[in-house]
Amino acid sequence: SQKIEQNSEALNIQEGKTATLTCNYTNYSPAYLQWYRQDPGRGPVFLLLIRENEKEKRKERLKVTFDTTLKQSLFHITASQPADSATYLCALDIGYGNKLVFGAGTILRVKS
Amino acid sequence: DAEITQSPRHKITETGRQVTLACHQTWNHNNMFWYRQDLGHGLRLIHYSYGVQDTNKGEVSDGYSVSRSNTEDLPLTLESAASSQTSVYFCASSESSGNTIYFGEGSWLTVV
């Protein structure tokens, strides 16, 4: 069956450290993979998109890697801050027209 | 600024009633989506549309319908609300595949 898995446990890290979140998938061949941030009571907000032929993408303190052989994406936040605390969602774009399949999300807590 | 708005933001309804959740976007995007979000399941696609008069079923479409009579709006109707449809509903839109998807702030629906 098709599945997307993110760290099921919340990730607690100290301010200033690098947070690394994992997204693994099976039985999909996504053209794109996207990461979103979601704060409590709010809608998801787009962060980064990486294409199947790209290995790595960066935006400010954020970095995403995409390994289609391992079927895995890693999402890194460097120099993390308490304001980075949120739920981070991984989503696979599985076909024409931005049809996204989402993971359940990982809660990140950054402590000062 | 262009935006995507949902209404109502919160609603309590009774089992068996028809409910319509409104979604309006001002970006003139062709693609619009409805997702529901439940604890442990992440976001699941209900229906989507690639343009006026186009509607398609997603992963969890039973008990829901949508219509697209113009570019800006994609209302979601629950024909006969059931307790299993208690959830948070998110509308989203995008210009085309591989582009940013913008989410609304969500509609909290409780069916009693």
A31-76 pLDDT, tens per residue?
889 999 999 999 999 999 998 889 899 999 999 999 989 999 999 9
- Give CA torsion, residues B65, B35, B102, A18, to 10 deg: -170
Question: CB A103 to CB B42 under 8 A?
Answer: yes
**Type of residue numbered A96:** Y
Q: Give yes or no for a contact between A93 and A36, defined as CB atoms under 8 angstroms apart.
A: no
Amino acid at A50: I
Q: What pLDDT, in 10s, does the model give residues B21-48?
A: 999 999 999 999 999 999 878 899 999 9
Q: Give yes or no for residue A96 having a pLDDT over 70.
A: no
Mean pLDDT value of segment B36-64: 93
| End-to-end Cα, chain B, rounded Å | 37
Q: Which residues of B touch A88 (CB under 8 A)?
A: none
Band the pLDDT of B2: cuts 50, 70, 90. Answer: low
Cβ neighbours of A51 in B, within 8 Å: 98
Interatomic CA distance for residues A20 and A51, integer angstroms: 19
Give the DSSP H/E element, type plus range, for residue A24: strand A19-26
Residue B75 above 70 pLDDT? Answer: yes
Q: Which residues contact A17 (CB under 8 A, 6 or more apart)?
A: A80
Put simply, the answer to whether A104 touches B98 (Cβ < 8 Å) is no
Tell me the C-alpha distance between A79 and A61, whole Å: 7
Helices (H), ranges, chain B: none
Q: Which of A34, A51, A99 sits opposite B48 (nearest CB)?
A: A99
Query: Sign of the C-alpha dihedral, residues A52, B33, A90, B82?
Result: negative
Q: What is the mean pLDDT of chain B?
A: 94
Cβ neighbours of B106 in A, within 8 Å:
41-43
